[in-house]
Amino acid sequence: MGNVTQLSYATNPYDSTQISGRAPPLAPPGGAVAQPTAAQLAQQQLAYQQLQQQQLHQLQQQLQSFWSNQYREIENVNDFKNHSLPLARIKKIMKADEDVRMISAEAPIVFARACEMFILELTLRSWNHTEENKRRTLQKNDIAAAITRTDIFDFLVDIVPREDIKDEAMTSMPPVTVPVGGPSDTFPYYYMPAQQLPQSGAPGMMPNKPMLDPGLYAQQQPPPYMSSSIWPPAPQEPQSPSDS
């Protein structure tokens, strides 16, 4: 008993987290997308505003060049007989006003040139909207957008399809990932959160639907059972006493 052997303790093969009951931290799944922060949303909003300002500046330069060329062409015009638009049609439109009795020969010429310049400018503004939406075909909603954006074209607002402008305006904006449960002030100005349906009310009641009265079901009795056979049943013959 004098010699006491020292026992060597082996290392524990089990993980300490398993013994203590603590679970290791879970790693985020590989397919999860990190939600943008408020700074990223603000940066994306700033980039969108800069893009709009750049497109507006480009449109202003194009309009300045357009009007400079128009003024130069008007000063150099020598032939007043040939016009792009028919003068007879313009004179007929002018005579639609009952108060107009006499029209000089120079008036339709001025109107023909004015209509041509009006069409050219409206086409230029409409084409700018076409390029904003990355298309190569000018459509009617491009003309509607050009009219809506220009104050001098307010008299045409009632005759353009304004519904198409709203749909394309939403599709032309860059996609934005909104963090779930984030503060509302982090949303960009062009983000429109969906309206939530009211949760209050009686159970079993659909939103925007009237509640059904259970008494109506009690008044409606189910129809009597009808046989599926279309042929009447054959008459049964009385049995004779000998058969019994």
**Could you tell me if residue 146 is inside a domain?**
yes
**Could you tell me if residue 35 is inside a domain?**
no
The predicted pLDDT at position 36 comes to 76
Q: Specify the CATH number for the domain of residue 103.
A: 1.10.20.10
The predicted pLDDT at position 202 comes to 46
Domain that holds residue 161: 78-172
**Could you tell me if residue 214 is inside a domain?**
no
Question: In total, how many domains does the chain have?
Answer: 1
CA distance 16 to 27: 19
**What is the Cα gyration radius of the chain?**
41
CA distance 198 to 188: 25
**Could you tell me if residue 230 is inside a domain?**
no
pLDDT, tens digit only, all 244 positions of the chain: 555 555 555 555 555 555 555 555 555 555 555 677 888 888 888 888 888 888 888 889 999 999 999 999 888 887 777 778 888 899 999 999 989 889 998 899 889 999 999 999 999 999 999 998 999 999 999 999 999 999 999 889 888 866 655 555 555 554 444 344 444 444 444 444 444 444 444 444 444 444 445 454 445 555 444 444 444 555 565 555 555 4
The predicted pLDDT at position 76 comes to 86
